[in-house]
Structure 1
Amino acid sequence: MLTTAIPTSDIDPYTDESILAPYDDYRALRDLGPVVRLDQYDVFAVARYREVFEALHDHESFISGEGVGITEQLNKAQHGSSLTSDPPYHDLVRGMVARHLTPKALREFHTHIQDWADRLVDELIERGEFDAVTDFGQAFPLALVPDLLGWPVDEGRERLLAWAAAGFNAFGPLNARTQAGFPLLQEMGQFLHRMSIPGNLRPDTWGAQLVADAQNGKIANELLPALLGDFLAPSMDTSVSALSSLLWLFGAKPAQWDLLRSDPSLIPGAFNEIVRRESPLRGFTRLLVKDRVLGDTQLEAGARVMLLYGSANRDERHWDAPETFDITRANAAEHLGFGHGIHGCVGQALSRLEGHSLLASLTKKVRRIEVGEPTWRLHNTIRGIESLPVTLRAA
């Protein structure tokens, strides 16, 4: 039965408490209904799987071109990227970024990445205790992505993670976390503008090809900084989150680790289950531009709608035993941890390649993953571990 009476809630998903332990709040929102108005922000939260999936696949009603954050002031400053655009412009610019990040395009890097993963695992076994985030999760993106993009060897690399974190924080409210990132965003913008000048990126790299496209008239020069930024964000924070969660989940569930070691063919499904269980992206918003029924709820054009990926991936209406980490889960590939539809994370194939390569190396070389207690990260948009002590016991 269609309803126009939308439940309201005083839940604030951006408090420190909710960020550090979000799942009770997500469950409460799911139980209230398919759409819930959040009083604090005058947005409509969508926390159930079916409705999140449906909205992600209706980009004509739920548009991204007016921003995907919760703060309209910040949304107006986020135009130009493939994430914050709509067709037909979206199709053009996403294609220019995604051509380098498809599974087919990445095949030539498989051996290089697997060799790198093997070396990293050997080094960490030898080291003894290390940190899952700085020594494992961050190591791979920082070693690989700058070279693929063509960043100068002596500029910008040490700032990439801080810039990416500030960019993702700006999709949240205008809170202290967001405001602390403003100097970093200005710094990143200046760097990306410099990298948009022909000759400043190393030749024959992904970024240099994008600059050449602008020189050849395929895209406008003023769009280059945002498009170079499209390579940065999806290649950094989401990957770091997924890789760090990988060690935590298998360390906390040794029976699942034994199962994966006994059958490495489960690696792709295991990585999907990692992303489902601890979704790197909490969610983004969309602007509804036409009256629309979502679930049993009538929404009016002009509504700002928050799609909670992390909640959808724990929805009891879609998943059996959603709190359980199960690498044999038959439908794990249905997760929304990287988004879905035309705005699905452009860098997810690279994240999968990184994750699969590291899992392949770990299953060969590591008998047991021992972990301490994780410290969770305070971030508006990224669900991730801040620090986690780990020891790898050799097979």
Structure 2
Amino acid sequence: MGAAIPSYDVDLYSDEVLAEPYPHYKALRDAGPVVWLPRNDLYAIARYKDVRESLRAHKVFSSAEGVAANEAANQGSKGTTIASDPPDHTAMRQVIGAPMLPSRLALIRPRIEEMAGALVERLVAQRDFDAVTDLAQHIPVNIVSELVGLPEQGRQNMLKWAAATFDMLGAANDRCAAAQDSIREMRSYVINEATRDKIRPGSWISKIYDASDRGLFPESRCPVLMRDYLGPALDTTIFAMANIIWLFGRFPEQWDLVRADPALIPNALNEAVRLESPIRGFTRQLTADHDIEDVRIPAGSRVALFYASANRDERKWEAPEAFDVRRKVNDHVGYGHGVHTCAGMHLARLEIHSVLAALVPKVERFEIGATVPAINNVLRGFSSVRVRVH
């Protein structure tokens, strides 16, 4: 018989926890390898080793029944890339992820770097700007909307749809309920507006239709797959980009290190995603009984894997709450791990790297002003970060 599973009687999707989650993550890690969340009707896994191993074990920790913390969203998301397992997931991932492979991104790198340079030039001349709305949103929204190939009338809604998608994947709370109108609007759009005759030829969406023509999946699946480009490709990148500017403002000595050695930019980016993970985590459903240490989780259980907690686990990282651009962090789980590793990870890194490389020769110091946290069921970041550059 396995060890008793401790309980943590706190709603992990409440406003209070979302605003300051890290003490709660530490409490989960300290409580044991598996913790029961009675307020959310979930088991929680919060330690690095266990989260990473669970993400690798996709046959047991299944995504096919959804990855949300509420049953309605899980039923509604079945058949999407995020809510599927191999071999279905593999076929869809090959199509969705193909435009974001490093070899393909090399073709658009000059355009992204040019856009980043012009943006930084303009904002540095202003001296004061918002690191979220003026800086972080600019390249993802403009590049992604163009590459995805949406009809013009849908592009202005992409950020709203992205935030709603992640709110829907949390607990069945007021935020989840409020997201439903935006989700219905997005679904209507991909079915009735983003049709084959209205999208840009050669775009990412056109490749979905091409794959359907080759028999990889029925054409009726195309609108479902389009949704993968309307949510995950935006907010995670935007939050990560604003977070790193905020961190450099709080820790100016780390920006000095990057300015002295721009080769540290990729490592700084990884460290920022580790420390301030844009995605808190997703759930999985167990297909069989599973033991973690001496704790048994029964088959059919819904389990939350907290990436953001794993990335601050004292068992893995020395001084995990410190921001250190020289730390070796290639194995963080901020982008997930295993077959469901974020398909847009390389695009996000390219966009953020381009912005930081443009900032290095122009900015000596970031002075952080007022900040407004973005309260979202699954994402963590800011809706506004005022910055003055020196």
| TM-score interval, normalised by the smaller of the two chains | over 0.9
**Structure 2 counterpart of 1:299, which letter?**
I
Select 2:368's aligned residue among 367, 371, 375. 371
Structure 1: which 5+ runs fail to align? none
**1:76 is the counterpart of 2:75:** yes
Asked whether the 8 Å contact 1:198–1:212 carries over to 2, the reply is: no
Select 1:384's aligned residue among 363, 369, 381. 381
SS at match of 1:197: coil
SS at match of 1:371: strand
Alignment-derived partner of residue 9 in structure 1? 8
Asked whether the 8 Å contact 2:369–2:385 carries over to 1, the reply is: yes
SS at match of 1:80: coil
Asked whether the 8 Å contact 1:283–1:381 carries over to 2, the reply is: yes
Could you tell me the TM-score, scaled by structure 2's length?
0.98
SS at match of 1:218: coil
CA displacement, residues 36-79 of structure 1 (integer Å, 9 cap, x when unaligned): 00011221000100100010000000000000011112211101
Alignment-derived partner of residue 353 in structure 2? 356
**Structure 1 counterpart of 2:336, which letter?**
G
Question: Within 1, Cα distance between the matches of 2:181 and 2:10?
Answer: 30
Question: Within 1, Cα distance between the matches of 2:140 and 2:188?
Answer: 22
SS at match of 1:293: strand
**1:89 is the counterpart of 2:88:** yes
Alignment-derived partner of residue 202 in structure 1? 200
Write out the 4+ residue segments of structure 1 that deviate beyond 4 Å after TM superposition.
none
Alignment-derived partner of residue 244 in structure 2? 246
SS at match of 1:370: strand
SS at match of 2:364: strand
Select 1:192's aligned residue among 187, 190, 193. 190
SS at match of 1:388: strand
Residue 128 of structure 1 deviates from its aligned partner by 2.2
- Taking only aligned residues, the RMSD between alpha carbons, in angstroms, comes to 1.1
Select 2:284's aligned residue among 270, 286, 300. 286
**1:303 is the counterpart of 2:301:** yes
SS at match of 1:385: strand
CA displacement, residues 205-230 of structure 1 (integer Å, 9 cap, x when unaligned): 11112122223433211211121111
CA displacement, residues 126-158 of structure 1 (integer Å, 9 cap, x when unaligned): 1221111111111111110011011123x1111
Task: Name the % identity.
Answer: 43
CA displacement, residues 169-206 of structure 1 (integer Å, 9 cap, x when unaligned): 11111111111111100110011113553211011111
Alignment-derived partner of residue 266 in structure 1? 264
Select 1:257's aligned residue among 246, 255, 266. 255
Question: Within 1, Cα distance between the matches of 2:245 and 2:362?
Answer: 14
**Structure 2 counterpart of 1:378, which letter?**
I
| Paired positions, count | 390
Structure 2: which 5+ runs fail to align? none
Question: Within 1, Cα distance between the matches of 2:123 and 2:376?
Answer: 27
Select 1:338's aligned residue among 327, 331, 335. 335
Question: Within 1, Cα distance between the matches of 2:263 and 2:269?
Answer: 11
Question: Within 2, Cα distance between the matches of 1:178 and 1:298?
Answer: 30
Larger mean CA deviation between 291-300 and 375-384 belongs to 291-300
Question: Within 2, Cα distance between the matches of 1:255 and 1:178?
Answer: 40
Residue 246 of structure 1 deviates from its aligned partner by 1.2
Question: Within 1, Cα distance between the matches of 2:171 and 2:65?
Answer: 16
Alignment-derived partner of residue 215 in structure 1? 213
Asked whether the 8 Å contact 1:197–1:211 carries over to 2, the reply is: no
Alignment-derived partner of residue 128 in structure 2? 129
Residue 105 of structure 1 deviates from its aligned partner by 1.3
Question: Within 1, Cα distance between the matches of 2:73 and 2:80?
Answer: 14
Asked whether the 8 Å contact 1:151–1:201 carries over to 2, the reply is: yes
Residue 293 of structure 1 deviates from its aligned partner by 0.8
Question: Within 1, Cα distance between the matches of 2:3 and 2:379?
Answer: 32
Asked whether the 8 Å contact 2:167–2:179 carries over to 1, the reply is: yes
Question: Within 2, Cα distance between the matches of 1:373 and 1:354?
Answer: 25
Alignment-derived partner of residue 148 in structure 2? 149
CA displacement, residues 291-340 of structure 1 (integer Å, 9 cap, x when unaligned): 1112331111011000000100010000000000000002x111111111
Larger mean CA deviation between 219-228 and 84-93 belongs to 219-228
SS at match of 1:249: helix
Question: Within 1, Cα distance between the matches of 2:14 and 2:342?
Answer: 26
Asked whether the 8 Å contact 2:12–2:40 carries over to 1, the reply is: no
Alignment-derived partner of residue 322 in structure 2? 324
Asked whether the 8 Å contact 1:194–1:200 carries over to 2, the reply is: no
Larger mean CA deviation between 99-108 and 2-11 belongs to 2-11
Structure 1 194/214 Cα, relative in aligned 2: closer, same or farther at 3 Å? farther
**1:179 is the counterpart of 2:177:** yes
Asked whether the 8 Å contact 2:2–2:296 carries over to 1, the reply is: yes
